Amino acid sequence: MTSRKTFGVVTARWPGIFASIAILGVSGPSHAATAADQLYERTLMTSADARCRLFKPAVGSALDAARAQARGATLRSGVSQNEVTALEARAHAKAGAASCGSKDLTTAADRVRKAFDGYSTMLRMAYPGDRATWQADRSVSATIAVWRLSQPSSFGRDRLVFGLSGRANDMLAVANFADNAQPYAARLVLRDTLRTQGPYLNARNAKGLAANAAPRNASRVFGAETRDDAPLTLLPTGAKTGLSFRFPREAGDALSRLDPREAATVEFVFTSRSGQDVVRRAYVEVGDFAAGRAFLR
């Protein structure tokens, strides 16, 4: 399991609880109680912000990114999805019962604001998972295609970068094929949260992510909407050519709802000499995709 360390903590008195707002980074042990406490407190404050408009958008988004990261840490610590949902419901109820003008809420908001002012101006952030890392970058360019949230992956001799690119945060799979093969289509396969009761975590300690991908009959399939030659700036490191496939915006929402420990499958479809379809599969760890996506806002 990936370890964590708290870089900075601001503790604010809240009616009946302590609202400890922390920025999580890398290294140091992670405990279920700590992650769950942080999720409760950050959910409470983001809920209060939505109702009372406590923070400027940049600070509110930074707090929401930290909330999403705490949610991922809580699930990775072994807390069930149902328990997480119940915890979040309690936090929303607590925030809804507080007066927007109360002294306690004003004090808590002031301390949150001070804690996240600096965080909201950061341009880059790394989100390590159990096996892979999402790299987030808020910088954008009007002329150069850049990754804003990305995770590299290798599958056989082929390589992939998957994530969000450009001002529109397009969801892309950019692949380089060692044998210069040309797939005619790409598909993103994600667990269907409406048809399943939880993730398929068959072998967390085994090598590779395939064991944590949902079976096809329990998944949603998103076909790529476009296929283009990839810009050099989006290619896997060292690659000179590659193809870029863009997936529907809805796929990003679906990926954000998954458990951080599970895997998404990217399928590339080729036509063989016999005319039959041949599929090559790459796997991406869900990890803190939701937190990185919130960071970009």
| pLDDT tens-digit map of 155-196 | 999 999 999 999 889 999 999 999 999 999 999 999 999 999
| Predicted structure pTM score | 0.79
pLDDT (0 to 100) of residue 31: 52
Closest CA to 31 of 79, 81, 66: 79
User: Please, what are the domains in the chain?
Assistant: 6-122 (no CATH), 127-296 (2.60.40)
DSSP secondary structure, 98-118, as one string: S-TT-HHHHHHHHHHHHHHHT
- Joined together, the tokens standing for residue 274 give 């016999």
Q: How many residues does the chain have?
A: 297
pLDDT in tens, 30-71: 455 688 999 999 999 999 999 999 998 888 888 988 899 999
Listed residue (83, 50, 53, 88) closest to 67, CA to CA: 88
Chain Cα centroid distance, residue 62: 14
Tokens matching residue 252? 């990003």
Ramachandran assignment for 169, one of left (phi > 0), alpha (psi -120 to 50 degrees), beta (any other): left
pLDDT of residue 43: 94
Mark the ranges of the chain whose per-residue pLDDT is less than 50. 1-30
